[in-house]
Structure formats: structure tokens, C-alpha cells
Amino acid sequence: MELKKFKLKMATKAVYVGGFFVILDEDEASSLYREGFYGRPLGIEKPKTPIFRSKTILSFYEVLYLKSSKRIDIIDERGEEMSDEDIIQEAGKYIENFEIKYAVYKDLKNKGFIPKPGMKFGVTFLVYEYGPGIDHAPFLVHVLEKKEKLEVLEILRAGRLSHSVRKKLVLASVDPSELKIDYYMFRWFE
């Protein structure tokens, strides 16, 4: 009886340097992008296809999510492996309330959505149903801690923006003690 050789899928390696996680292997980068639209290919502003050859930059959210599913290993510039705690600590230097925002990212991913950075629209996440380049993101999701106050003027501004770009505005309210998330979608009347 002949034994067949099976190629085991190894975790992708990414290097953390100065606030950025980079996948240097272009085939692995493309594979991860095809798998779940993870990362942003370097030198390609908006990929029209998930097939490309490029190094890729991953967000803190993507890295922690992929690492928790054992899909990626992270090393720092010294070549030492980074733990989840290391990643969360680094993220806290760049992203206010990272753990709360990550809880929403993880929840959206687990529900089959594709969250991408929403800074361009003044929100936490731009959320796709199928993926960038395939559909337009139907949702703008802004993450708030449960006790945070939201001014009426802020809601009106966000509402006007979401309406003008034809996206639904969703507020994700997170209880930090339990990381319980409540979603509120605004509906605008004309």
C-alpha cells in the first residue's frame, strides 16, 4: 500500500515592525486575502480581484483574529514570537479602546461579515457582506462603550453622511465587563 504525501497547511508568518504587520510571502498574502479579504496589498490601492502578487499589511484586528484561529504566527523585528497579550498591548498604543472594538470585529467576522477600517467615513468599521471589489459595503459600524454618551449633533452628522453614501449606520454598544454587544441601526426618514 502506497502512502500519499499530504501537504499540511502551515500558519502564515507576519512580521511586526513599527505599528505594522507585514506578510512578506506574496503567495501567502494572496491566499489570506482570498480566504477572507484579510489585509491590504502593498502597491495595489483597491484590488479588483483577490488574485495578486504583493506583500500585505494586516490590521491589529485581523492579526489577533487570525492568530486566535491558529492561521497566522507573528514575530517582531527581533524574530521573537508575539503573544496575544503582546499584540493587544501594542494595539493599545495606536487604537483607543482596542479590546472593545476587537470584540465587535470578531463578532462581525463570526457572523460572516467583512469589516475593514472605516476611518474614511468617521466610523470604526466599513462592513461588507461579500467583500471589497465584489460589493459596496452596506454598513458603517461605529463602536462605543456602553457608558459613552453620544451627542445628537454627532448622530445627525453620521446620519447625513451614511445617507449620502447610501450605507446604513449601525452603532455597536459594548459592555466592557462582559464584552456583550448590542447593535442599533438608524433609519432615516425623508
Catalytic residue among 67, 101, 142, 167: 167
Catalytic residue among 102, 109, 128, 142: 128
Catalytic residue among 120, 136, 180, 183: 136
Burial 127-154 (b: 16+ CB within 10 A, else e): bbeebbeeeebebbbbbbeeeeeeeeee
Q: Does the annotation mark 167 as catalytic?
A: yes
Integer-rounded Cα radius of gyration of the chain: 18
Tell me the CA distances in angstroms from 167 to 24, 124, 125, 175, one per residue in order: 34, 14, 12, 25
**End-to-end distance of the chain based on CA atoms, in angstroms?**
72
Q: Does the annotation mark 147 as catalytic?
A: no
Side chain identity at 2, as an amino acid letter? E
Q: Does the annotation mark 183 as catalytic?
A: no
Q: Which residues form the catalytic set?
A: 128, 136, 167
